[in-house]
Amino acid sequence: NPQAKPAQAKQASAADKKSEEPVIDPKTKQLIEDLNNKLLRSVAELENYKKRAEQQISEIRKYALTDFAKHITESAENFYRIMDHAPEELINQDETLKKFYEGIKFTKEDILKTFQKHGIERIFPLNQQFDHHQHQAVSQIESDEVEGKILQIVQAGYTLNGRIIKEAMVITAKAKQSK
């Protein structure tokens, strides 16, 4: 049968290829498995390192402004002081003073918008409960208020992207001493 010969030739060829595959002794096979496992672990470690490095770069970018933000918030606080202590009666009587005051108010608002844009937020916890993570108690006053309630703000605090960069300095209530 002439057609049977090519089929037999293919089978013989496949059998020859199987017999040509190298025979690997158990020690070499174990070495190959060990090297493959080490390679897979190394690739995984490299991927983990890459992820950690990306996270660190992200953190560095996110908080690179910390020192600058600490200093610039002092300027913002000066605007608050100006606004809080401006003599409204005099301002309302003098058009030049009124325009000057409005310019200061606009500048303060512009600074606060810039702060918000860059993740800087003011902490002004008046009448809130003291939180040692965000506040620094500089004094206590005997009061009928709940102990630990913030009665006065000595200096506002600030956060940068949710991280405290300056604690609010506060005066808190303490229980009255019985005589």
Stated pTM of the model: 0.66
pLDDT of residue 13: 59
pLDDT interval class at 59 (50, 70, 90): confident
Average pLDDT over residues 160-179: 90
User: How far is residue 11's CA from residue 155's CA, in Å, rounded to a whole number?
Assistant: 90
**What token pair was written down for 55?**
């996270």
Range in 3-7, 47-51, 93-97, 153-157 the model is least confident about: 3-7
- The string of pLDDT tens digits covering residues 89-135 is 988 999 999 999 999 999 999 999 999 999 999 999 999 999 999 99
User: How far is residue 157's CA from residue 164's CA, in Å, rounded to a whole number?
Assistant: 8
User: How far is residue 114's CA from residue 121's CA, in Å, rounded to a whole number?
Assistant: 10
